[in-house]
Structure 1
Amino acid sequence: MKRFIAGVGVVSCGAVVVALAAAAPASADPAPTLPSAFVTEVVDGDSVRVVDVTRGAITVRIAGADAPELNECYGPQSRDFTRSALERQLVAVIVDPSLGGADASGELPAYIVRVDGWNHNVEATRAGAARASGEVSRSAEIRDAENGARQVGAGLWSANCGTPAQQPRPQAAPQPSGVYYENCDDARARGAAPVLRGQPGYRAGLDRDNDGVGCEPTR
C-alpha cells in the first residue's frame, strides 16, 4: 500500500487494486466497483483528486449532484463528509454514459464508488452534503436521496441553511439630462408638465409626494 500511495509505478498500483478487488465484499451498488483509482485529496464536497490506473492524476467531480461551495452554508461540512468517506480510499471512477469527458475546468464528471459499493454521488445527497443537479442516468435515484434529506432536514436542508431572501436591487439614480426646470411654473410654461420620473428634467424637487409624477396638474 505504501508503494501505491507514493505513486511509485502503475504496475504496483494495479497489483494493489486487483488484489483488493478480489477480496471486496459483494457490492451494494449495481455498477461495477472494480477499484481503479486512489483518492489522494478532497478538494471540496463534490470534487476529489485521484491517481487512476489508466488516466493518471485527475480531478473527479461527482456527476448528478452538486455540493455547496466552501464559502456557502454547509460547504465546509460537505467537504468534511467527503473526506471521511473517500480520502485515501480505493475507488472505482465510473463515467456516466450520458456525459462526455472532462469539462471546461478539467474535471471529469463521474460516479465515485468504493469497493464496498458505497456510491458517493447518491450517499452524499442522501446525507444532505450535496443536492441533485443536472440529468444523468441515475438522476432518479439521486433525486430520491435528496427528497429523503429534505424531509428530515439533513445537512444543507437544515433550518440553519435557509434560502436567504433576495435583496432588492437598488434603483439607478437618474442621470443628468441637460434639461432643467427651475420650478413647476417653469415646467408648465414650457409645456412639459407633468414631468414623469425618468423623463428629461425630472428631479425630486419637482415631485413633492415622491410618486414619480412631478408638477402634477393643480386641482
Structure 2
Amino acid sequence: MSGWRTVGGVLLVALTAGCAAQVQQSRPVAVEKPAEDTPVTASSATVAPAQLGISVASIVDGRAVMLSDGSKAEVSGLAQPGPCWAEAAAGFAKAMLLNQQVRYDKTTGALTLADGTDYALLALGNGAGRIAGAPTPVQKEAEGAAQRVPMGLWGTPCGGKDALETSTAPPPPPPPPATTTPKPKPPVTTTAPKPVFYASCDDVRRAGKAPLYWGQPGYRVELDDNRNGVACESRY
C-alpha cells in the first residue's frame, strides 16, 4: 500500500510499514516428513526473503549502490541518469542511502529503506530519477508529481532532458577594432554567499524556512527524521 502526502506544494511518496515492499523476516515452520509415496511439489520450496541487516557502503550513481556485503544493488524501475542530472541524482542517493540499513531483493531489484520506503518511488517523487521500462501506476504518479512542481531533473537547467542542447549556429563575427583605447574597468569583486546552517528544526521554523527540501540552503539529513527529502515538516 502506498501513501501520498502534499508538503509545501510537493507531492511526496512514502510506503507504509505494512506494504508488500517491506520484506518480513521469515520464521521457521515445523513441517512433517512426507510419506515415502507422497510426491514433493515445487510449491513446498521456501523462497528466500530479501537479505536483512545490510547497509549501503558507497554510491555508484543515482540508481546503483554498493552494499556492505560487497554486492552491487541496481534499483529496478529507474533509468540510467543523464549527464545533466547525474550529479544531482547521486547526491540525492548519498543523502538518503549512504550508511543506512536497507533491504535489497535481487529477484525484483527493489531497494527499500529500513522503514519500508521504496527508494525508486522516493527518487521519482523528488525528481532524482526517471522511469525506465514498464512503469507501475504508482511509479507514474510519483514521476508526475515531480514534473508538476517541477523539481529535480524536471526543473532548471535540465527541463526533463538528459543533456543540455548545444547550439549549432556559427559564432557571431568579431566586433570591429576600436578606434580609441577604452578605459579599464574596475575589478568586480563578488562575495560568496554565507552558508546557511540550522542547528535544529526550531531554528528553521523561527527563521520561517520550514519545511526545508533537499537541495535548499540549510537542508541536512540530520533534520530529516524520515529521510523523505523534506526536513522539519509540520508537526500537525
1:28 Cα deviation (Å)? 5.7
Aligned equivalent of 1:41? 58
Relative to structure 1, the CA distance from residue 43 to residue 28 in structure 2 (aligned partners, 3 Å threshold; closer, same or farther) is farther
Aligned to 1:116: 115
Q: Does 1:154 align with 2:151?
A: yes
> Does residue 66 of the first structure (1) align with residue 70 of the second (2)?
no
Please report the RMSD computed on the Cα atoms of aligned residues, expressed in angstroms: 2.2
Match of 2:86 in 1: 75
SS of the residue corresponding to residue 92 of structure 1 reads: strand
TM-score when normalising by structure 1: 0.50
Q: Look up the SS of the partner of 2:144 in the other structure.
A: helix
The alpha-carbon deviation at position 51 of structure 1 amounts to 2.7
Letter of the structure 2 residue corresponding to residue 27 of structure 1: A
CA contact (8 A) 2:76 2:110 kept: yes
Map 1:154-193 to 2 at 5 A: 154-162=151-159, 163=161, 164-165=164-165
2:185 maps to: none
Say whether the 8 Å CA contact 2:21–2:118 is kept in structure 1: no
AA in 2 matched with 1:38: S
User: Which position in structure 2 is the counterpart of 1:129?
Assistant: 128
Tell me which of the two structures has the higher relative contact order, counting C-alpha pairs closer than 8 angstroms and 6 or more residues apart: 2
Question: Over alpha carbons, which structure has the higher Rg?
Answer: 1
**Letter aligned with residue 128 of structure 1:** G
Taking only the aligned residue pairs, the percentage that are identical comes to: 24
- Which residue, 18, 22, 27 being the options, matches 2:17? 27
> 1:94-147, CA deviations, whole angstroms, 9 ceiling, x for partnerless residues?
2455xxxxxxxxxxxx111011111101110110000110126xx222121111
Gaps of 5+ in 1: 1-25, 98-109, 169-219
- For 1:68 and 1:141, how far apart are their aligned partners in 2? 20
Counterparts of residues 6-17 of structure 1 (less than 5 Å): none
Where structure 2 has 5 or more consecutive residues not aligned to the other structure, the ranges are 1-15, 25-51, 169-236
Alignment match, 1:51: 68
Is the 1:64–1:121 Cα contact (8 Å) retained in structure 2? yes
Looking at structure 2, the residues matched to 78 and 89 of structure 1 have their Cα atoms a distance apart, in angstroms, of 17
How big is the shift at 1:68? 1.8
The aligned counterpart of 2:11 is none
State the distance in 2 between where 1:27 and 1:134 align.
26
TM-score norm. by structure 2 comes to 0.47
Question: Displacement, 1:77?
Answer: 1.4
Change (3 A) 1:28 1:117: farther
Aligned residues: 123
After TM superposition, give the deviation of residue 37 of structure 1 in Å.
Answer: 2.0
Alignment partners' CA distance in 2, 1:87 and 1:120: 12
Q: Quick one: distance in 2 between partners of 1:38 and 1:95?
A: 15
